[in-house]
Amino acid sequence: MKYNALKGIHDIYPPDISLWQHIEKVAADIFTVFGFQEIRAPIIESTDIFVRSIGETTDIVEKEMYTFTDKGGRRITLRPEGTAPVVRCYVENYLYNLPSPQKYFYAGPMFRYERPQAGRFRQFFQIGAEAFGVAEPKIDAEILSMLKLLFERLGLRELCFQVNSIGCEQCRPGYRKALVSFFSDKLEGLCPDCTRRYELNPLRILDCKVDSCKRVRQDAPRVTEHLCSDCENHFGSLLSLLELLEVPHSINPDMVRGLDYYTRTTFEVTCEHLGAQNAVAAGGRYDRLVQEFGGPPIPAIGFAVGMERLVSLLKSSGEQNIPAPRTFIAVLGEDAGKQGLALANRLREQGIWTEIGYTGNSLKSQMRRADRLSAEYVLIIGDEEIASGNCKWKKLSDGSQGEIALSGVLAFFQ
RNA sequence: GUGAGUGUAGCUCAAUGGUCAGAGCACUGGACUGUGGCUCCAGUGGUUGGGGGUUCGAGUCCCCUCACUCACCCCA
């Protein structure tokens, strides 16, 4: 019987894994200098947590969640995103009593039951960050410049930073009304999906890809023109801070995020080389969620980076650094096999990556394997070497070789 | 959930309905009894995704099914 991984769920293994590790390391380093600390929230939570935060009528909650009942009859869901568990943790453990702001980052798998396509999987990894306790747009700008630095460090170019403000509970209802009245006499020009959106969530008509909908909405009211004065000031200062921090960006008033908890600032980082799923990172402010989860009214903002999308961009844009062993021990014969193994062990104890050949293989094939591994040195041990107490070394990059005492090998590599 | 496309060796791909389904790469060995890359030679590797049908004959045509891919939708 041959088994396959589940649809939309992929293994990650060498050589790709080194790229994943590299991204995770660079991200952790950058987040750390911005004062973010790692947080590890569970992968499964009560279903309710996601329903309440993401929104009952969103697609994620309505049809994309992996939900089951556990043996105790509890409704459980595999997290479809990372913010809700972090907020739950923040509130449950009274982390708002710690000095503000509290800033966290996380990395791990998320799950959504969707039809897989380029850049979209049922299990996908996100690296995300959340900052609690600052209402000022300063932190919004910091977060965006942190993302800019991350992508720069990873060597990514041609990214497009888009920002928007979708207002707050004060001004959004008014904007929604304005949209509804704008579209009320234009319904026949909209696609079937948008006529449904008109009822449920008219803001989503703004990011429909159908041409006729694009035409119909051309003169639709802009969210940025319907902000209350607080939101307008907030957005205005964010834009000027982005100038100050030299984060190139464009304002996209049609950008509507799919999660209900967002307020004010929303943003997306997209790349045209990604295909239909072109967002490599996205996020926004969620000033009401902590309170919604039973905490005090604490503002917050966060984002998530899509690992698979990032990996695919990095794979197509640069060459990978595949890690290589420092030395390869080629052995000829039983005794040499044993001595080589013992030597390998001593080298490894010193933190030197050592590979060893197996006596069944010819020297030629062992050399070939050392070459394929890109080992820096090969040590050759056979009967002659055991008898003389020396072994041969060869540097593969230039072919130079020589002899050293078996007892001096450790020093040779240090 | 809807639509389209593709399934042949580990990978990338050939093969008018007609001998035994091939090539390159990779892997193993040899040429070079103990020295990698380059070259040459050989070997390993296939239920042509699975099932049914048409036919003297199916990798090729038809039907069903499964898987994958892309797009819609949705989103990281």
Least confident of A5-14, A54-63, A144-153, A204-213: A204-213
Highest mean predicted confidence (pLDDT) among A272-276, A329-333, A343-347, A359-363 = A343-347
Q: Do residues A125 and A234 share a domain?
A: yes
Does residue A44 have a pLDDT over 80?
yes
The pLDDT > 70 percentage for chain A reads 98
Which nucleotides of chain B have an atom under 7 angstroms from any protein CB?
1-3, 26-30, 32-37, 67-76
Residue given tokens 């062993």 in the structure block: A325
- Give pLDDT tens digits for A151-170: 999 999 889 999 999 999 88
What interface predicted TM-score (ipTM) does this complex get?
0.86
Q: Which domain range does residue A305 map to?
A: 16-171+227-317
CA of A303: nearest nucleotide by C1' is: B76
CA distance A388 to A364: 22
CA distance A285 to A281: 14
The pLDDT score that the predictor gives to residue A236 is: 96
- Token couple for A350: 């010193």
CA distance A139 to A160: 20
The last residue of a domain, from among A268, A294, A317: A317
The mean pLDDT value for A59-85 works out to 95
CA of A82: nearest nucleotide by C1' is: B76
Q: Do residues A59 and A156 share a domain?
A: yes
The mean pLDDT value for A319-328 works out to 83
CA of A117: nearest nucleotide by C1' is: B70
Does residue A360 have a pLDDT over 80?
no
From the CA of A72 to the C1' of B57: give the distance in Å.
62
Q: In this predicted model, which residue has the larger pLDDT, A147 or A186? A: A147
- Give pLDDT tens digits for A232-247: 999 999 999 999 999 9
The pLDDT score that the predictor gives to residue A260 is: 80
How far, CA to CA in Å, does A224 sit from each of A47, A235, A409? 34, 9, 69
From the CA of A120 to the C1' of B62: give the distance in Å.
35
Number of domains in chain A: 2
From the CA of A380 to the C1' of B34: give the distance in Å.
9
CA of A270: nearest nucleotide by C1' is: B76
The pLDDT score that the predictor gives to residue A403 is: 92
The mean pLDDT value for A80-105 works out to 97
Per-residue three-class SS string for chain A: CCCCCCCCCCCCCCCHHHHHHHHHHHHHHHHHHCCCEECCCCCEEEHHHHHHHHCCCCHHHHHCCEEEECCCCCEEEECCCCHHHHHHHHHHCCHHHCCCCEEEEEEEEEECCCCCECCECCEEEEEEEEEECCCCHHHHHHHHHHHHHHHHHCCCCCEEEEEEECCCCCCHHHHHHHHHHHHCCCHHHCCHHHHHHHHHCHHHHHHCCCHHHHHHCCCCCCHHHCCCHHHHHHHHHHHHHHHHCCCCCEECCCCCCCCCCCEEEEEEEEEHHHCCCCEEEEEEECCCHHHHCCCCCCCEEEEEEEHHHHHHHHHHHCCCCCCCCCEEEEECCHHHHHHHHHHHHHHHHCCCCEEECCCCCCHHHHHHHHHHCCCCEEEEECHHHHHHCEEEEEECCCCCEEEEEHHHHHHHCC
CA of A258: nearest nucleotide by C1' is: B75
The mean pLDDT value for A24-42 works out to 98
Q: Do residues A400 and A338 share a domain?
A: yes
Does residue A321 have a pLDDT over 80?
no
Q: Do residues A283 and A389 share a domain?
A: no
- Give pLDDT tens digits for A363-408: 888 898 899 888 999 999 988 899 999 999 999 988 899 999 999 9
Question: Within a domain: residue A166?
Answer: yes
The mean pLDDT value for A321-327 works out to 87
Q: Do residues A236 and A385 share a domain?
A: no
Share the mean pLDDT of chain A: 91
The pLDDT score that the predictor gives to residue A52 is: 93
Q: In this predicted model, which residue has the larger pLDDT, A215 or A142? A: A142
The pLDDT score that the predictor gives to residue A79 is: 97
CA of A58: nearest nucleotide by C1' is: B74
Question: Within a domain: residue A283?
Answer: yes
Q: Do residues A111 and A80 share a domain?
A: yes
The last residue of a domain, from among A265, A291, A317: A317
Q: Do residues A80 and A150 share a domain?
A: yes
Confidence class for position A1, pLDDT limits 50, 70, 90: low
CA of A281: nearest nucleotide by C1' is: B76
A79, A44 in Cβ contact below 8 A? yes
From the CA of A115 to the C1' of B73: give the distance in Å.
10
Question: Within a domain: residue A11?
Answer: no
For B71, nearest residue by CA–C1' is A276
Q: Which of A338, A400, A329, A391 is nearest to A366 (CA)?
A: A329
* CATH number of the domain that residue A27 is part of: 3.30.930.10
Confidence class for position A135, pLDDT limits 50, 70, 90: very high
From the CA of A351 to the C1' of B36: give the distance in Å.
25
For B30, nearest residue by CA–C1' is A364
The last residue of a domain, from among A289, A317, A345: A317
From the CA of A114 to the C1' of B73: give the distance in Å.
10
Does residue A255 have a pLDDT over 90?
no
For B76, nearest residue by CA–C1' is A306
Q: Do residues A334 and A305 share a domain?
A: no
- Token couple for A41: 């929230």
* CATH number of the domain that residue A374 is part of: 3.40.50.800
Question: Within a domain: residue A63?
Answer: yes
Q: Do residues A377 and A274 share a domain?
A: no
- Give pLDDT tens digits for A276-304: 889 999 999 999 999 999 999 999 999 99
Q: How far is CA A306 from the centre of its chain?
A: 4
Question: CB-based contacts of A216: which residues, under 8 Å, 6+ apart?
Answer: A183, A186, A189, A190
From the CA of A397 to the C1' of B37: give the distance in Å.
10
Adjacent-strand bridge partners of A270: A160, A279
Question: Within a domain: residue A221?
Answer: no
Does residue A191 have a pLDDT over 90?
no
From the CA of A365 to the C1' of B43: give the distance in Å.
15
Confidence class for position A46, pLDDT limits 50, 70, 90: very high
The mean pLDDT value for A340-358 works out to 93
For B2, nearest residue by CA–C1' is A115
Question: Within a domain: residue A5?
Answer: no
The pLDDT score that the predictor gives to residue A319 is: 63
From the CA of A346 to the C1' of B33: give the distance in Å.
31
The pLDDT score that the predictor gives to residue A318 is: 67
